[in-house]
Chains A and B, each alone.
Chain A
Amino acid sequence: MIKLQRPWILGLGAASLVALGLSIIHLLNKEKAGFWPFLAILAIAGLAGATLTAQRAGEPVLIVNEGSRAHRTWQTAGWGIFAFFVVATPYLLDSFRVQQVNKSMYFAVAVLGVNLIIGYSGLISLGHGAFMGVGAFLSVILVEDYGFKLWQTLFVIIPLAFVIGLIVGIPALRIKGLYLALVTFALSYAFPTLLKIEGIDKRTGGDLGRNISLDKQVQPGRLKGLLGLNGLDAPAQEQIYKYWLMALVTGISFLLVRNIIKSRAGRAVIAIKENQIGAAVSGVPLTTYKVITFGISAVFASVGGWLYALLFSEANPNTFGPLLAISLLLALVLGGVYTLQGALVGSLLYVFLDDLRTRVTLTSVAGWRPSFFQIAEGSPLTQAVLGLVLILIAFFAPGGVVFIARKVRASLIRVIPTIPTADVVASAAVDSPMSEPEVATTH
């Protein structure tokens, strides 16, 4: 049953992927551009060529039985490329760019929570910025005022975010329709004002926000040598150290969500989204499951907020308003609703796109300079780009980038699932999440 036609296509694909990743990293560093732009173009052409050739053949290049040696080799190669970039990225980028990657990670964990509710439960939430705020503020307050270590605050944040999620979710989720969107949108606006109430503002710092004082901030510790930080400048040390902490938490978060969605509980959640009545007659208690899922998604958002506090050592009420909630939504749909990898890919794309848009200056278009087209750096008009992206995605890429990547992969490989038998039961899922090498380099 194994079939491999024209293996060079796979080789070309893999090589292009690595080349693309490396050239993106170098271009981000704003070093002399050199031959990197050309390599990037070449790599994109290589990927497109491999995909098109494979698609023209009408059949995937590689057809394997699930769990067979060829399949495992493919998976190992994919994970290998992913692991290479995970390890190499912080050391190849300058510290400003590492900080952006770190930003993408706290974003990604929150987006993961948003995806649980929007992608997997089919319920629209616009309030996860507030849940991030819960995580960020509790971190700062507990560390500063109550002598917690940062990691200890998680034991307060996680249960509390869950309960707050229930409080917000229970009223909205008993009724069908856009009610959750409505409630959470109002929450996004109400949350910053709540933090500024007289009395509460003593803890939150009101409009000014709070910082974690220098001596309590996360500092590169004993692992310095192991992480190869000796000899680097202080900002690089700090960012790379935080990169590893955040990567650990992000990795665990993705693993937990993957386990949930590939389980009895996860299938029940998806069933509610796709056919509520079918789920009910199969025994799924609809409201309970929706509310619990919302609570869990609030927890991931709050952990995203905790990572925010870890990264920036501060929290300000105005950060966690409606704009943040919409940004989470934007990152989610950029990456891909209802896909696991979408949260990470979309967050990376969003963070870099948002950075790019604030630097854009447009003074002339092809030598023609009507005043209408002149955009100064940081012009408010650049915000329209985000709105435009939202609309374009709804029209042209409802599955986001990951959906496109999956199409590419499908033209390269088909995995024939193993029949579950009494003795050897292999995973029946054709898509084993996170096994795509594409994930590694899409930023």
Chain B
Amino acid sequence: MSLLEVKDITVRFGGIVALNDLSFDLDEGQITALIGPNGAGKTTLFNVVSRIYEPTEGSITYDGQDLLAMPAHRICRVGIYRTFQNLALWPTMTVLENVMVGAFTSTKTSFPQAALRIMGARSEEKATKRRAYEVLEELDLADVAFHPATGLPFGTLKRIEIARAMIGKPRLLMLDEPASGLTHSEVDELSATIRGLRDRHNLSVLLVEHHMKMVMAISEQIVVLNFGQKIAEGTPSEVQKNEAVIEAYLGADAS
């Protein structure tokens, strides 16, 4: 059963066509990879799903709902969480507090409740803090919990973004280049982490990544973009054999 249906999505920026008539389905419970050279439009698709960019044409259906009818802040309420290629953390807050913001939709304390610390504000705060810490533990980040979310290695910051997404209990997790800046052994660890998260939390994953070894190892389904156009789709072995894909990646780093 497909969880996310992307249909005929086109995005234009002035003269640039960032996405051209893109359609694909994402199946529930699977890890789907979205690959393609730089500038292919992968991040643009994430931004369309997050309702940050308005597509010129097309529709996106998630679990039977029309995503394009929702404002950006509603997207995570239906269970879609994401990370960013270039990070979107809050540097003056601690790592723990960053993750606590990720729990925004699953908590309720309003301004008046917070100001007067009444009606469960206190206990909810405690519970959120505990949950955030548990998520950090699960992602091996407990030792930086009280560190400000800045000045840490890039790979760590990217994992903090995963933690921030995970506390919201996503159904669909979208990861934009989670392995960038990691060493080979760290990439392998990350692969195991993503798989583990998927298995333990019944996730569907949409993964954008340039490390082909990782993509081939963990994804069940791959969509290949080039210049905003889908050029191939299929299982890792199918995609690896595809002429158009080999063409597009010729000279590109395919290790």
Contact = CB atoms under 8 A, between A and B. Distances in A.
Instruction: Tell me if chains A and B make direct contact, with any CB pair below 8 A.
Output: yes
Interface of A: 256-257, 259-260, 263-268, 270-271, 274-275, 277-286, 292, 296, 338, 417, 419-422, 425, 428-430
A280 B72 contact: yes
Contacts of A283: 73-74, 76-77, 104-105, 168
Interface stretch (B26-34, B118-126, B244-252): B118-126
Given A286-B73, A428-B146, 16 more contacts: A256-B116, A263-B109, A264-B103, A267-B100, A271-B90, A274-B90, A281-B75, A282-B76, A283-B73, A338-B92, A419-B142, A420-B133, A422-B130, A425-B129, A428-B96, A430-B94
Given A263-B125, A265-B109, A271-B90, A281 B50 contact: yes
Given A270-B92, A275-B88, A421 B130 contact: yes
Given A271-B90, A283-B104, A425-B129, A430 B117 contact: no
Given A259-B117, A278-B88, A281-B88, A267 B76 contact: no
B84 A278 contact: yes
Contacts of B77: 283
B89 interface: yes
Contacts of B50: 280-281
Contacts of A285: 71, 73
B43 to A, nearest CB: 12
B164 A256 contact: no
B75 A264 contact: no
A282 B168 contact: yes
B101 A259 contact: no
B20 interface: no
Given A281-B50, A281-B76, A282-B76, A425 B90 contact: no
Contact of B111 (A260, A282, A284, A421): A260
B82 A264 contact: no
B59 interface: no
Contacts of A286: 73
Interface of B is mostly: helix
Contact of B114 (A260, A417, A421, A425): A260
A422 to B, nearest CB: 6
Contacts of B109: 263-265
Contact of B101 (A257, A282, A419, A420): A282
Nearest to B123: A425
Contacts of B93: 267, 270-271, 274
A292 B121 CA distance: 18
Contacts of B62: none
B183 interface: no
Interface residues of B, number: 50
B133 to A, nearest CB: 5
A270 B148 CA distance: 14
Contact of A259 (B52, B73, B74, B114): B114
Contacts of B177: none
B102 interface: yes
B5 interface: no
B168 to A, nearest CB: 7
Interface of B: 50, 52, 71-77, 81-82, 84, 88-94, 96-97, 100-105, 107-111, 114-117, 121, 124-126, 128-130, 132-133, 142, 145-146, 164, 168
A260 B105 CA distance: 17
17 contacts: A260-B115, A264-B109, A268-B101, A278-B84, A278-B90, A280-B72, A280-B73, A281-B76, A281-B82, A282-B101, A283-B74, A283-B76, A283-B168, A284-B104, A419-B142, A420-B130, A428-B97
A263 B121 contact: yes
A259 B125 CA distance: 11
A292 B111 CA distance: 9
A417 B88 contact: no
Contacts of A257: 115
Contacts of B102: 282
Given A280-B73, A281-B82, A430 B146 contact: yes
A271 B145 CA distance: 17
Contacts of A428: 94, 96-97, 129, 145-146
Contacts of A292: 111
A429 B88 CA distance: 22
A341 B125 CA distance: 23
A266 B114 contact: yes
A419 B81 CA distance: 26
A260 B75 CA distance: 25
A268 B103 CA distance: 10
Contacts of B110: 265
